[in-house]
Structure 1
Amino acid sequence: MIGLIDCNNFYASCERVFNPKLEGQPIGILSNNDGCVIARSNELKPLVPMGMPAYQIQPKIRKQITLLSSNYELYGDMSQRVFDTVRNYTANIEPYSIDEAFIQLDGFSDIPDHCQKLRAIVKRDTGIPVSIGVASTRTLAKLANHIAKKQVIHQGVYCLATNTTSFIDTLKAHAIDEVWGVGRRIAEKLQTLGIHSAWDLHQADLKQIRQQFSVVLERTVLELRGIACIELDDLATPKKNIMTSRSFGRLTGDLFDLQEAIRMHACRGAEKLRRQQSVANAVAIFLKTNHFRKDLNQYHPSIVVPLAVATDDSRLIVHAAQKGLQAIYKKGYLFMKAGVMLLDLKAKNSNSQYDLFTDESTVTWQQKNDQLMQTIDNINRKMGKNTIQLGGTQPQAPWQIKRQLLSQRYTTRWDELPLVK
């Protein structure tokens, strides 16, 4: 059997672990630059819809709630703590997102009892409440988890067995777009074929599904029938392009500020590139002014800079990005956003960049570069993002995101450790 363990209201729960006064209070977590509500506690959901801009929240509601900036450093560390705790009590764990992981539950005589004990241990050791859905496939486990989280009667654990009378009712109760892996466009096309619920898809003709959609959706149908055939590796396909961009905390037209922002985005993109074991053949750079500010001059330039050789080396990618920035930058404009996109990606192969005429010293140089990049990534992974970076950054630079409501990074910063009174 497969379980899906999901942290309840994860961002809000992380904040409550170190600030118990927030327990039972409506909490909202804001997006970059404190723009929109991207996560809500259960108490906030009736008051504020997901995605609402913070400035649109009515003053009378604003007084009743707590809004906080996204504290991703804290959330990432707490996620690691939760999964490390789970690893001690299950044979195998496959993290799926920052707050979800699939776990193997074969070999336990009483799976519901084990899951209840696991929930209690995670809550005790990390302070984070979790729900667990159990089924014979990952797709059904996702549906089971939805029930475990929404229906209090199950106390956070729900086992969805295909041989029970409630199985059909459960699938009929879930709309087609609630099935894991069925996106909005696919759901709309399925509905035109009369497939509106998870049960309808369960009953669908496999041959028709494969012909009109894909083998992936065919596997989803099989999963709904209790036949496990989807692995996480099937979903983790390498990206064809990698984009890194962010709106600035305040407008700037200073070239030095833009160079810093482009360098940080290029480094971040290169790190993602190495993580999926790809190399890029070109780098695209773009700038944007605020088109809502009609009183300001508008300019939205972009440029693509080819790389001499396909690479994942941060230094070469940053150099190309800065070269592109110099080409498109103009004085007299205030920019609100900058970004870098790595293009024409292909799988990294240690021999793919060389031919019979490649000098041996070039191969040695590349190998040393690979070791350097791997070392930097390992240090940043262990010691925190940007522990080692190319060039310095201004703490109050305009391109830095605005996080005026940021809580302490209790678990990763010595100067922000919680105080016991």
Structure 2
Amino acid sequence: MFALVDCNNFYASCERVFNPNLQNKPVAILSNNDGCVISMSDEAKKIGLPFGAPIFKWEQFCKEKNITILSSNYPLYGDMSARVMSILADFSPDIEIYSIDESFLEFKGFDNYNFEEYATKIRNRILKWTGIPTCVGIAPTKGLSKVANKIARKNLKETKGVCIIDSDEKRIELLKKTAIEKVWGIGSGLQKRLKTKCCTTAYDFTQISSDWVLKELSIVGWRLQKDLQGISKIPLEELSSKKMIATTRSFENTYSDLDNIKERISTFASSCAQKLREQNSNCHVIYVFLRSNRFDKSQQYQKENRTVILSYPTDSTLTIAKAAVTAVETIFQKGVEYKKAGVIISGLVPNDNFQLNLFEHENPKHKPLMSAIDHLNRKYKADKIKLGNQDLKRTWKMKQERLSPKFTTNINEVLVVK
């Protein structure tokens, strides 16, 4: 059996844990630079605030409806997510962290368990230890556990946050109630193709010829169909190294001077290099890009990029940042107001198994230096040590006018009990 444990309105729920005044009130969380709505409470959904709403257009609506608007507090959300996932690991050794707010669990050797009670125990412990409400769907396959979770979430009062698919009769009943567009992995393109086969529900999908699905929707669609038929074909994914690492950000303001652009690129490159070392990899390729504001009609939209091929693989912040800054110098144009930039590294190889270059190689001092920097930054839970061309006071420069405190990750912002 598989379980999907999903945190309800995760970002809003994290804010409510440390600000109980937000309980049972409409709350909306904004994207980077306070752009648009990316998460909200059930109360805000009922009022009619749409996902993706640009806040500058909906500010007056939110004021009239008394919707609390907050900037994204990613350090808080990341820490709360880690706490939830740590709790889930106590309930099964086989876990796949699917996203920041949901995980799959596989129950091997749980033949005589009462899954209704076990799922309730999971919900209660997470709520008690973290304050985050969750829903749990349990079924014989990952695909069906997704369906069960959606049913539990949609009918929260009736299900009490738990839905178990433990019989073929229940599987068929719930699949008939699930619209095809609500099925995990069925995007808009697949929906159109399936509707030509008169497929409007998840159950209809299970009745289509498997040969047609394999031919038209590939092996991925076939596995999903089998999962919905109760035949497990989608296993838990093992944690693997990324094949590409990217750090891209929109600026809090537009930049037209090269010095500010170079500082941002150096910071982005340093972040990529750190992630690279965390997965014990080196990179061969660095891709740097600059973008102007595509919504500003007063100037022509500009987008430039440059790819750097390194002579030898590296994980050194010094090497990667220097190459990225040199690249951005060649694509920067005077007079252009840039709004977004990014660094993407690829051509990743293990740091203990790669092709050497006869004439060029990494400076041998870089390895111990990077190791020392990473150790200190981990010890003090912050990027205390940076390159000289980085802003020493801030990692990401974003517009965050409605930011809540970092209650769990900054000692100066913890709650004070009086």
Contact 2:314–2:362 (8 Å) recurs in 1: no
Identity of aligned residues (%): 38
Q: 1:194-205, aligned counterparts within 5 Å?
A: 194-205=198-209
Structure-2 residue corresponding to 1:39: 39
Structure-1 residue corresponding to 2:141: 137
Contact 1:162–1:225 (8 Å) recurs in 2: no
Structure-2 residue corresponding to 1:84: 86
Structure-2 residue corresponding to 1:157: 162
For the residue of structure 1 that corresponds to 2:44, the secondary structure is coil
Aligned equivalents of 1:115 and 1:376: distance in 2?
43
Q: 1:5-20, aligned counterparts within 5 Å?
A: 5-20=5-20
- Do the aligned partners of residues 358 and 337 (structure 1) sit closer, same or farther apart at CA in structure 2, a change above 3 Å counting? closer
For the residue of structure 1 that corresponds to 2:233, the secondary structure is coil
For each residue in 1:356-390, what CA deviation from the matched residue of structure 2 results, as whole angstroms up to 9, or x when unmatched? Answer: x589xx69949x73x76567557656754534443
Shift of 1:14: 0.5
Aligned equivalents of 1:250 and 1:136: distance in 2?
50
- Do the aligned partners of residues 204 and 349 (structure 1) sit closer, same or farther apart at CA in structure 2, a change above 3 Å counting? farther
Structure-1 residue corresponding to 2:2: 2
Amino acid at match of 1:51: G
Shift of 1:81: 1.1
Structure-2 residue corresponding to 1:103: 105
For the residue of structure 2 that corresponds to 1:231, the secondary structure is coil
Structure-2 residue corresponding to 1:324: 327
Contact 2:71–2:400 (8 Å) recurs in 1: yes
Deviates more, 1:345-354 or 1:247-256: 345-354
Structure-1 residue corresponding to 2:236: 232
Structure-2 residue corresponding to 1:50: 51
Shift of 1:287: 1.8
Within the candidate set 244, 259, 279, 2:262 is matched to 259
Q: 1:10-409, aligned counterparts within 5 Å?
A: 10-46=10-46, 47-57=48-58, 59-63=60-64, 64-105=66-107, 106-107=109-110, 109-151=113-155, 152-163=157-168, 165-233=169-237, 241-274=244-277, 279-296=282-299, 299-343=302-346, 345-348=347-350, 350-354=352-356, 365=364, 369=367, 384=381, 386-391=383-388, 392-393=390-391, 395=393, 400-409=397-406
TM-score by length of 2: 0.89
For each residue in 1:141-195, what CA deviation from the matched residue of structure 2 results, as whole angstroms up to 9, or x when unmatched? Answer: 11101111111201011101242x3321211222223222233323332333333
Amino acid at match of 2:405: Q
Q: Which runs of 5+ in 1 are unaligned?
A: none
For the residue of structure 2 that corresponds to 1:232, the secondary structure is coil
Shift of 1:335: 1.7
Aligned equivalents of 1:166 and 1:20: distance in 2?
38
Aligned equivalents of 1:220 and 1:351: distance in 2?
36
Deviates more, 1:319-328 or 1:169-178: 169-178
Aligned equivalents of 2:191 and 2:375: distance in 1?
41
Shift of 1:231: 2.3
- When the two chains are superposed, the root-mean-square deviation of aligned CA atoms in Å is 2.8
Shift of 1:393: 1.2
For the residue of structure 2 that corresponds to 1:142, the secondary structure is helix
Count of aligned pairs: 412
Deviates more, 1:320-329 or 1:126-135: 320-329
For the residue of structure 2 that corresponds to 1:214, the secondary structure is helix
- Do the aligned partners of residues 227 and 277 (structure 1) sit closer, same or farther apart at CA in structure 2, a change above 3 Å counting? farther
Shift of 1:80: 1.1
For each residue in 1:7-31, what CA deviation from the matched residue of structure 2 results, as whole angstroms up to 9, or x when unmatched? Answer: 1111111001100000011000000
Aligned equivalents of 2:372 and 2:151: distance in 1?
43
Contact 1:298–1:333 (8 Å) recurs in 2: no
Amino acid at match of 2:194: L
TM-score by length of 1: 0.88
Contact 1:210–1:218 (8 Å) recurs in 2: yes
- Do the aligned partners of residues 335 and 153 (structure 1) sit closer, same or farther apart at CA in structure 2, a change above 3 Å counting? same
Aligned equivalents of 1:149 and 1:172: distance in 2?
17
For the residue of structure 1 that corresponds to 2:119, the secondary structure is helix
Shift of 1:298: 5.7
Q: Which runs of 5+ in 2 are unaligned?
A: none
